[in-house]
Amino acid sequence: AFVENIPEIYILSLLFFSPHFLYLLISVSVLTMDPIPGLSKLTVSSSKKIVLNCSDGKSFEIDEAVARKSKLIADMIESGCDGPIPLQNVTGKTLEKVIEYCKRHVVEFGPSDEDDEEAAEKLAIWDAEFIKVDEETIFHLILAANYLNIEGLLSLTCKTVADYIKDKTPEEVRQIFGIENDYTPEEEEAVRKENVWAFDPNQ
Amino acid sequence: MKRSVRSRRKKTIENNLTRSKNREESDENENDPFSRITVDLKKEILMKLPAKSVAKLAFVSKTWASIIRSKEFTDLYMTRSSTRPRLLFKVHRHGDHFYHSCSQEDPSRDHQRVKITQIRNPIKSYDFSPPSGGLVCCLSDSSKVLLVGNPSTGQFVPLPKVRTRRLGIVAFFGYDHVSDVYKVLCMTVKNVKKQDRLLVVSEEHQVYTLGAEKKAWRLINCQHPHLPPFHTNGLCINGVLFYYAWTRNKGSLMSFDLRSEEFSVIKLPENVRLLQDFCSLVNYGGKIALSTRLYEGTLDLCVLEDASKQEWSKVSVVVPCGSDLSGRYMFWFRGALSTGELIFASYSPMELFYLLSYDPKEDIAEKVVIEGIGDQFSDVRVYHDHVDSPLFLSNES
């Protein structure tokens, strides 16, 4: 790829030698709306777009690299799927959020060793803000991440739910998830007596 | 049923999850997403909880209990837990007993604490075994009651009464990962006058297997007359229980194989003068070792290299720790972590509790402060390589 891009490098090197050429270049940039003509080819390895169709009719066009964050989609691309990919189990609203995650987590140039820890910290902060949504959206994201097979998003969403219920009593957890208590009142009483360790609020 | 639960939901949501305005309207159109969360996804969420929380969630409903208490889930959780070993602290303060644990890799992270609610007697003293397979055993010195407990959840259950009329009981606890069983080894000692002590040996050796069909102690044979001191702690490594005992008036290392239930005597190395008061059993990188306390920066160890050949090796470690690190406290070697780090702890109450950690590769010793444990009234015991386990203990008696 570097060999193919020599003409662009050649153009850039001329900048240093000719102020007139620089003027020409700038005007060309303004006309084509491309900062330095051909420079975009140096930065983006693949600009192939993938179209995703949701269950509620919405359509999204994203870069292949972003789409590949989903192992399900990556496998489909590998097996030659070219056209729009139908995602029956995901709504537009959820997919939009999923795409936002994938875009942020796509590795563009590969992390350099020095930036690793700092970049990881920044990413963690972004993740924490990203996941500040209501619980229904989180559950939709869990289901989508599971269906689309996006490991990082599944881990993040499950951890968020886990942290939320970590210190809750069984009764509170029932209320949050709308779970029916199938212990009879007598069974419940017996269980509470035998297991003080689990119901002690000071624990 | 679902609608009334949803209106109650509104009161319990906390601030860290923001609410969407159109919640009620959007619910009309979409299925409740939680109902579509499969069992596998529920397990994914549960796997990310500390053991204490997981164990409590079994009381949400019978369905949840069946997921959480299934062997499959427990094994899955334990496999992941064992890749994240924890430091375990047993604290005794004014008759209250509790367990505190933290991440071993980074002791500032992931602190958990459980109170042992069953034991609240400031007069009686209790002996707690080191943790093995995530569980511990506890013996009350004035009664024949033995308890098995989970230091991650705080649940303790009593075992059936030991088969003896005597009061002198010594007990050891261990887990064998090959046969996946927890066993308690117990023996009794006749109470005799001091001058007759030389004639006394342990008798009535019996074993209790946790979760066995028959909930009873089984008497077993022991071919080697020996006498373990009271309050001595055993250590279980790879399914073998080791403990110190006197055989024919000489100090020896006893080993009890949890699978075969066979005893054997291992002679201590000859020219090393080790008194029981000044030596303790430690796990030195998967091998049993006898260690002295850290004295003037030097640690002396006798490591058992081969049990069958009774081969010991001597190890001497120089720890660069001056008085700035140890202060006025005496530090004892508590064990070697899989990373090679050596951990030292003091048995004296400390105002601000800390461990000494020595990395032999880097030759660096440092203080590791553990917040929230201990003060000058607390007695703290330290254990390493504890596995966080949500194991629920069913009734054994």
CB contact under 8 A, A135 and B13: yes
Contacting B residues, span 22-41, partner chain A, CB-CB under 8 Å: 23, 26-27, 30, 32-34, 36-38, 41
A151-156: average pLDDT: 94
Q: How many CB pairs under 8 A join A and B?
A: 126
Contacting B residues, span 146-165, partner chain A, CB-CB under 8 Å: 153-156
Which token pair is A83?
Answer: 């056209």
- Chain B nearest CA to A27, separation (Å): 48
Shortest CA distance from B42: residue in chain A:
A158
Q: Which of these ranges, B27-31, B85-89, B272-276, has the smallest mean pLDDT?
A: B27-31
Domains along chain A with CATH numbers: 49-181 (3.30.710.10)
CA atoms within 13 A on the CB side of B392: 21
Amino acid at B261: E
Q: Report which of B58, B80, B77 is spatially closest to residue B69, judged by C-alpha positions.
A: B58
d(CA A185, CA A163): 29
User: Does A122 have pLDDT greater than 70?
Assistant: yes
Residues sharing a CB contact under 8 Å with residue A199, sequence separation 6 or more, in sequence order = A169, A170, A192, B59
Chain B hits for A57, Cβ within 8 Å: none
- Determine phi and psi for B180, rounding to 5 degrees: 55, 50
Domain boundaries, chain B: 39-83, 84-386
Residues sharing a CB contact under 8 Å with residue A56, sequence separation 6 or more, in sequence order = A91, A92
Task: Indicate the helix (H) or strand (E) that contains B63.
Answer: helix B62-68
Q: Look at residue B36 in the predicted model and tell me its pLDDT.
A: 77
Which class would CATH give B84-386? mainly beta
Task: Indicate the helix (H) or strand (E) that contains B89.
Answer: strand B86-93
Tell me the per-residue pLDDT of A17-29, one tens digit each, with 9 for 90 and over: 666 655 665 555 5
Residue B295 sits at the chain A interface (C-beta within 8 Å): no
Rounded to the nearest 5 degrees, what angle is found at the Cα of A126, between the Cα atoms of A125 and A128? 65
> Could you give the strand order of the β-sheet that contains B342-346, starting from the edge strand earlier in sequence?
B311-318, B298-306, B287-291, B280-284, B331-336, B342-346, B354-359, B364-369
B261-266: average pLDDT: 95
Chain B hits for A154, Cβ within 8 Å: 44
User: Does A8 have pLDDT greater than 90?
Assistant: no
CB contact under 8 A, A164 and B17: yes
- Chain B nearest CA to A169, separation (Å): 8
Cα dihedral value A162, A167, A171, A176, nearest 10: -40
The residue among B344 and B21 whose pLDDT is bigger is B344
- Chain A nearest CA to B80, separation (Å): 14
Q: Report which of B206, B214, B294 is spatially closest to residue B256, judged by C-alpha positions.
A: B206
pTM of the model: 0.80
d(CA B388, CA B50): 7
User: Does A62 have pLDDT greater than 50?
Assistant: yes
User: Does B194 have pLDDT greater than 80?
Assistant: no
